Amino acid sequence: MQTKPPGRALQILLLCLLWASATQAQDLPPLTHKLTPIKTPSVAPELIFENMDEETVDLKDYRGKVVVVNFWATWCPPCRREMGSMERLYQATRDSKVEILAVNIGEDLDTVFSFLGTVEPSPTFPLLFDTDAVSMKKWKVKGLPTTYIVDTEGRLAYRAIGGREFDHPAIREAITALGR
Amino acid sequence: MLPVFYPAQAQQLQSVNDATGARSWSTTHAGVYFSLTQIRPEQGDAFYVNRGFSLEQIRPFTASCVYMTVLRNDSAAGVVHFVRDNWSISVEGEARAFKTVEQWVKQLAAAEASKSALIAFRWAQFPPEQEYEPGGDWNQGMLSLGLPAGQVFDITARWDLGGQNFEATLTGVECAN
């Protein structure tokens, strides 16, 4: 009996897995650890989306807290790589008035849920869904990931374009200082 | 502002990924790092089929000599600004045009790709325009050069900083087979 060759879908899946593991292991640009202060802080744009429990989350309700607003997608390599460091930051700063809102761009709940199991440590902060990518223009995001730090008055305080090591001491100190 | 003089572009480096065989080319100039890494058509197919494209829809893109592109402001003297349309490629000294992200999105939309697939496509591309603060702002994204498999070419990335123009060129770059 002749062995049937693997189907196209299986080949694609195997290639995807090979590519993902290979690109994680080699040739990846380093995550950096500097936040850029925004010289003339303005009020953060509107940010209202549903979370994983399909509850509406509004950035305005976080006044009095420092909020890390991160725009990301599961298919974006630096977004995936920085996600664990954001959870470590979240755990380390929970008593310091710091909140994280990670806004997924264009994907559905099932896709994001499957991804969460691959992140170590897995995120426990709110994940929001911008399925139509409408926030990109409002927040002047030109590439993923992009992250803004919103101060306790609801103003944009810092920006980071590209992946960061969010639990790096320099970033942690900059963020927690905003809450003091 | 007085012009600042920088050392010549650093030597071009090349490497090969042991697992995938993908080749990379990189250089640094005036504190800005620039690199290209091959994405083989099958790798691109795998990525985009998982984002909702059919093979027929995405093959024109994935077979068009696509690279994972990185530009990073490590230590430039200030904010780096680039417009990707100012970058250029040449084959044996002859300039070649390459499609914009917007043109690819229009072509894929005409092929009736789904909305979520188009969103993933748009945001997986290297940005058409961006500003990077020194100290590590960067992007990683796909760049299609519209060349056949195995084609050897040169590519020049251009950016400006405080009114001064800069460029970094990678030579002898090869499209994946």
pLDDT in tens, B1-23: 455 666 778 889 999 999 889 99
C-alpha of B151 from chain center: 16
For residues A137 and A123, give the distance between their C-alpha atoms in angstroms, rounded to a whole number.
26
For residues B173 and A158, give the distance between their C-alpha atoms in angstroms, rounded to a whole number.
37
A61–chain B nearest CA distance, Å: 28
For residues A62 and B20, give the distance between their C-alpha atoms in angstroms, rounded to a whole number.
45
Do B120 and A106 count as a contact with CB atoms less than 8 A apart?
yes
Chains A and B: how many Cβ contacts under 8 Å? 114
B-proximal residues of A, 100-139, CB under 8 Å: 105-108, 131-133, 136
pLDDT tens figures, A88-99: 999 999 888 999
For chain A, domain boundaries: 31-178
Question: What does the pLDDT average to over A44-68?
Answer: 97
Residue B129: which of B155, B164, B166, B102 has the closest Cα? Answer: B102
Q: What is the ipTM of this complex?
A: 0.93
Nearest CA in chain A to B132: A161
Residue A144: which of B100, B124, B4 has the closest Cα? Answer: B124
B47–chain A nearest CA distance, Å: 6
- The b-or-e profile of B98-111 (16+ CB within 10 A means b, else e) is bbebeebbeebeee
What rounded mean pLDDT belongs to chain A?
88
Do B137 and A108 count as a contact with CB atoms less than 8 A apart?
no
For residues B173 and B150, give the distance between their C-alpha atoms in angstroms, rounded to a whole number.
9
Q: Which of A33, A77, A164 sits opposite B140 (nearest CB)?
A: A77
Strand arrangement of the beta sheet that strand A66-72 belongs to: A36-37, A156-161, A146-150, A66-72, A98-105, A127-130, A48-51, A56-58
For residues A139 and A166, give the distance between their C-alpha atoms in angstroms, rounded to a whole number.
20
For residues A6 and A16, give the distance between their C-alpha atoms in angstroms, rounded to a whole number.
15
Please say whether the structural domain A31-178 has been given the CATH code 3.50.50.60. Answer: no
| Predicted pLDDT at A94 | 85
What is the mean pLDDT of each successive set of 10 residues along chain B, which is 177 residues long? Answer: 66 92 96 97 96 97 98 96 97 95 98 97 98 95 97 98 96 96
Q: Is the pLDDT of residue A126 over 80?
A: yes
Q: Are the C-beta atoms of residues A24 and A35 closer than 8 Å to each other?
A: no
| Predicted pLDDT at A13 | 47
Do A29 and B135 count as a contact with CB atoms less than 8 A apart?
no
Which secondary structure element, helix H or strand E, spans residue A20, and what is its range?
helix A8-25
> Which domains can be identified in chain B, with CATH numbers?
13-174 (2.60.40)
Do B35 and A29 count as a contact with CB atoms less than 8 A apart?
yes
Which secondary structure element, helix H or strand E, spans residue A152, and what is its range?
none
Do A26 and B17 count as a contact with CB atoms less than 8 A apart?
yes
Alpha-helical runs (H) found in chain B: 41-49, 55-62, 101-110, 115-124
Contact residues on chain B for A143, CB-CB shorter than 8 A: 123, 126-127, 130, 139, 141
Q: Which of A26, A29, A142 sits opposite B72 (nearest CB)?
A: A29
